[in-house]
């Protein structure tokens, strides 16, 4: 899958470079959509190149196909290299500052000659940006906040970016036939939303051979260290550590390296109270190992239930496990459908029928098609005529496919004053209404909270989408009193979305706990813009498990008839 990542990276950067030089917006959108398509496809792009079938991929025409072939042959693209010569590299880095768009970056460069993040920060701190048209003290303050956000995020990557690498490495190690056990541990196993590196444990009788294979992984960029018990590499820009353990202590190692550090400290305190010692080699009474072959064995010896990895954050899970009262967490198999999906009617890449076929393959009982409302022009929002055509198409598909129920919905913008960006007569035709903030992120806390509360108080709203607006590693949450919003959501029968897109994971696990305690239903949705992105559901379920959610807490675990009762707000 090396080519997929390479092509996606180059196409995304071309789109950014075109944006900076003020190129045709439709042209740069074509690159963004192609990058998204390639990045999310489960197949290896190289196979399409070798079979000369690139143009069979949706959204990949002759021109883009030739560019992909050029990247395959040369590792880069002539157009890409030429664009990089036109734009200082520091300007691309500035594009990652939340709220600082290409027009402002170009103005900063043209008028002040600023080419690096460091220079930009210096000018902002000294109040020297406000000399530019459209810039003021508030703009400078927001730029400094954005730079600080990037500094905080540095060194950590979204789970969705690292998990595919970890899964591929595990598969690569398993395929050697040399291991008895192999597990990805650390923050990935706990499904933490951002991760720093990848940790893998194995049991093997051939440590030297497995380490030789590990360091020959195709995407290795650097070998940091190689030994029989531990080796470290850099692959796809991420450090990966592989450790070998014996079978009799593997469970203890699994527990130790899964973490979290805080959870491990709390478990060790329980051990000390019982005159025991726990480390990565086992649970010991004196010099005698009394448990360690499995995690279950260790927890059981301590009088505890086995604790799911996602819960291991020292948030009371140890005490509850000692009482035998752990919740039965939601599983991916509990999900009956997806209620937030985009298609070619707005900014998605697939037809409705393609989405439906994928949903059927996942065993879903229902899906909601929720394209954007009119005001989001960049997403080709829905007009009344488009809603009518979509409703007719969904009716035809429902007649054709008896295994699944396709719902007509819309992701409706919450306008600045809290009203909904959709006529009442259209709202009344929809099965699902998802309200979402897509603009004016810098409102004050009280104003934003009131805006959202007004929107979800509308009787047709069913779900509040990505409630805090954050983008992991890209943008902080907007200011909002989420507890107050949830109180109103409970009163009005509105579900809080756990947006499963790995860029968002919004609401986070702490807010999931809050929703559970307040009795607010959570809808785990993918916000998919292609059929492949329906697989993002696993990220949402992982976050839900971190938030201790059970099947009963999640809207889209309901059977179809009960779901429709909730959407119609039947009491």
Answer yes or no: do 397 and 289 share one domain.
no
Phi, psi of 433 (to 5 degrees): -120, 120
Question: 189 in a domain, yes or no?
Answer: yes
Which domain covers residue 419, as residue numbers? 332-567
Report the CATH number that the domain containing residue 67 is assigned in CATH: 1.10.150.110
Answer yes or no: do 344 and 434 share one domain.
yes
Report the CATH number that the domain containing residue 203 is assigned in CATH: 3.30.460.10
Question: 344 in a domain, yes or no?
Answer: yes
Domain count for the chain: 4
* pLDDT tens sequence across 196-224: 999 999 999 999 999 999 999 998 989 99
Answer yes or no: do 253 and 109 share one domain.
no
Answer yes or no: do 256 and 351 share one domain.
no
137's enclosing H/E stretch is helix 137-153
Which pLDDT band holds residue 38 (cuts at 50, 70, 90)? confident
Q: Which of 420, 466, 414, 476 is nearest to 440 (CA)?
A: 414
CA dist., res. 137 & res. 131, Å (int) = 10
Residue 184, SS3 per DSSP: strand
Q: Which of 173, 257, 183 is nearest to 215 (CA)?
A: 173
Highest mean pLDDT among 65-74, 380-389, 392-401: 392-401
- HEC profile of 491-502: HHCCEEEEECCC
CA dist., res. 258 & res. 269, Å (int) = 17
- Average pLDDT of span 242-256: 97
For 515, what's the count of Cα atoms within 13 Å in the CB-facing half-sphere? 33
CB 198 within 8 A of CB 186: yes
Answer yes or no: do 78 and 202 share one domain.
no
Q: Are strands 432-436 and 405-413 parallel, antiparallel or unpaired?
A: parallel
pLDDT of 436 above 80 = yes
Question: 283 in a domain, yes or no?
Answer: yes
Q: Which of 309, 287, 290 is nearest to 301 (CA)?
A: 290
Answer yes or no: do 338 and 453 share one domain.
yes
CA dist., res. 113 & res. 213, Å (int) = 49
Q: What is the largest CA-CA distance in the chain?
A: 76
* pLDDT tens sequence across 95-113: 888 778 888 888 898 899 9
pLDDT of residue 178: 95
Residue 194, SS3 per DSSP: strand
Q: Are strands 230-235 and 238-244 parallel, antiparallel or unpaired?
A: antiparallel
- State pTM to two decimals: 0.82
Rg (CA), the chain: 25
Answer yes or no: do 465 and 562 share one domain.
yes
Answer yes or no: do 116 and 173 share one domain.
no
For 288, what's the count of Cα atoms within 13 Å in the CB-facing half-sphere? 3
Question: 10 in a domain, yes or no?
Answer: yes
Answer yes or no: do 388 and 301 share one domain.
no
Answer yes or no: do 402 and 456 share one domain.
yes
Report the CATH number that the domain containing residue 295 is assigned in CATH: 3.30.210.10
pLDDT of residue 11: 87
Q: Which of 67, 87, 62 is nearest to 77 (CA)?
A: 67
Question: 30 in a domain, yes or no?
Answer: yes
Q: Which residue has the tokens 């497995």?
A: 210
- Of the two residues 429 and 375, the one the predictor is more confident about is 429
Answer yes or no: do 530 and 401 share one domain.
yes
Q: Which of 121, 153, 185 is the last residue of a domain?
A: 153
pLDDT of 571 above 50 = no
Q: Which of 244, 278, 305 is the last residue of a domain?
A: 244
Question: 327 in a domain, yes or no?
Answer: no
Question: Would you give the DSSP letter of residue 154?
Answer: T
Long-range Cβ contacts of 381-387 (<8 Å, 24+ apart):
381/346, 381/413, 381/421, 382/345, 382/346, 382/410, 384/423, 384/426, 386/345, 387/426, 387/429
Report the CATH number that the domain containing residue 354 is assigned in CATH: 3.20.20.140
* pLDDT tens sequence across 461-505: 999 999 999 998 888 899 999 999 999 999 999 999 999 999 999
CA dist., res. 540 & res. 537, Å (int) = 5
* pLDDT tens sequence across 550-566: 999 999 999 999 999 99
Answer yes or no: do 280 and 230 share one domain.
no
CA dist., res. 461 & res. 278, Å (int) = 51
Question: 539 in a domain, yes or no?
Answer: yes
Residue 111's Cα: distance from chain center in Å?
37
- HEC profile of 504-523: CCECCHHHHHHHHHHCCCEE
Tokens standing for 322? 């000692």
Question: 537 in a domain, yes or no?
Answer: yes
- Average pLDDT of span 176-186: 97
Q: Which residues contact 447 (CB under 8 A, 6 or more apart)?
A: none
Residue 421's Cα: distance from chain center in Å?
26
Q: Which of 244, 263, 283 is the last residue of a domain?
A: 244
């Amino acid at each position: 899958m090396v080519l997929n990542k390479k092509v996606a990276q180059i196409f995304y950067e071309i789109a950014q470079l075109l944006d900076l030089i003020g190129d045709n917006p439709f042209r740069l959108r074509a690159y963004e959509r192609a990058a998204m398509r390639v990045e999310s496809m489960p197949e290896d792009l190289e196979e399409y190149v070798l079979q000369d079938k690139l143009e069979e991929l949706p959204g990949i025409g002759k021109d883009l196909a030739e560019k992909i072939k050029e990247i395959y042959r040369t590792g880069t693209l002539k157009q890409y290299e030429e664009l990089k010569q036109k734009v200082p590299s520091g300007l691309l880095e500035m594009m990652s500052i939340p709220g600082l768009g290409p027009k402002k970056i170009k103005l900063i460069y043209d008028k002040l000659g600023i080419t690096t993040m460091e220079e930009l920060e210096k000018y902002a701190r000294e109040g020297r940006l406000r000399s530019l048209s459209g810039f003021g003290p508030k703009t400078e303050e927001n730029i400094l906040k954005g730079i600080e956000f990037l500094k905080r995020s540095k060194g950590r990557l979204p789970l969705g970016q690292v998990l595919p690498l970890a899964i591929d490495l595990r598969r690569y190690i398993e395929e050697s036939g040399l291991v008895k056990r192999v597990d990805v541990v650390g923050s990935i196993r706990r499904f933490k939303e951002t991760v720093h590196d990848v940790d893998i444990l194995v049991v093997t009788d051939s440590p030297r051979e497995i380490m030789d294979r590990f360091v020959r992984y195709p995407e290795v960029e650097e070998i940091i260290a190689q030994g029989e018990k531990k080796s470290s590499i850099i692959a796809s820009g991420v450090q990966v550590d592989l450790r070998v353990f014996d079978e009799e202590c593997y469970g203890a190692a699994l527990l130790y390296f899964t973490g979290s550090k805080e959870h491990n400290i709390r478990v060790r305190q329980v051990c000390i109270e019982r005159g025991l010692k726990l480390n990565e080699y086992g649970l010991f009474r004196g010099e005698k190992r009394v448990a360690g072959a499995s995690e279950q064995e260790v927890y059981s010896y301590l009088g505890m239930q086995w604790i799911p990895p996602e819960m291991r954050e020292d948030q009371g899970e140890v005490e509850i496990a000692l009482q035998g009262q752990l919740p039965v967490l939601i599983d991916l198999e509990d999900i009956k459908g997806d209620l937030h999906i985009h298609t070619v009617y707005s900014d998605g890449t697939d037809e409705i029928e393609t989405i439906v076929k994928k949903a059927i393959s996942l065993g879903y009982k229902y899906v909601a098609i929720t394209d954007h409302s009119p005001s989001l022009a960049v997403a080709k929002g829905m007009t009344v005529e488009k809603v009518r055509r979509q409703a007719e198409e969904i009716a035809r598909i429902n007649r054709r496919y008896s295994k699944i129920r396709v719902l007509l919905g819309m992701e409706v913008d919450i306008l600045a004053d809290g009203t909904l960006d959709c006529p009442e007569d259209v709202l009344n035709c929809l099965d699902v209404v998802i309200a979402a903030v897509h603009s004016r992120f810098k409102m004050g806390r009280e104003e934003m909270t009131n805006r959202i509360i007004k929107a979800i108080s509308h009787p047709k709203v069913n779900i509040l989408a990505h409630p805090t607006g954050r983008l992991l590693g890209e943008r902080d949450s907007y200011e909002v009193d989420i507890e107050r919003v949830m109180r109103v959501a409970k009163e009005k029968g509105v579900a809080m979305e756990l947006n499963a897109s790995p860029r968002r994971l919004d609401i986070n696990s702490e807010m999931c706990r809050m929703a559970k305690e307040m009795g607010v239903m959570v809808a785990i949705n993918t916000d998919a813009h292609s059929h492949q992105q329906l697989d993002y559901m696993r990220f949402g379920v992982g976050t839900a498990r971190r938030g201790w959610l059970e099947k009963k807490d999640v809207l889209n675990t309901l059977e179809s008839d009960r779901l429709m009762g909730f959407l119609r707000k039947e009491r």
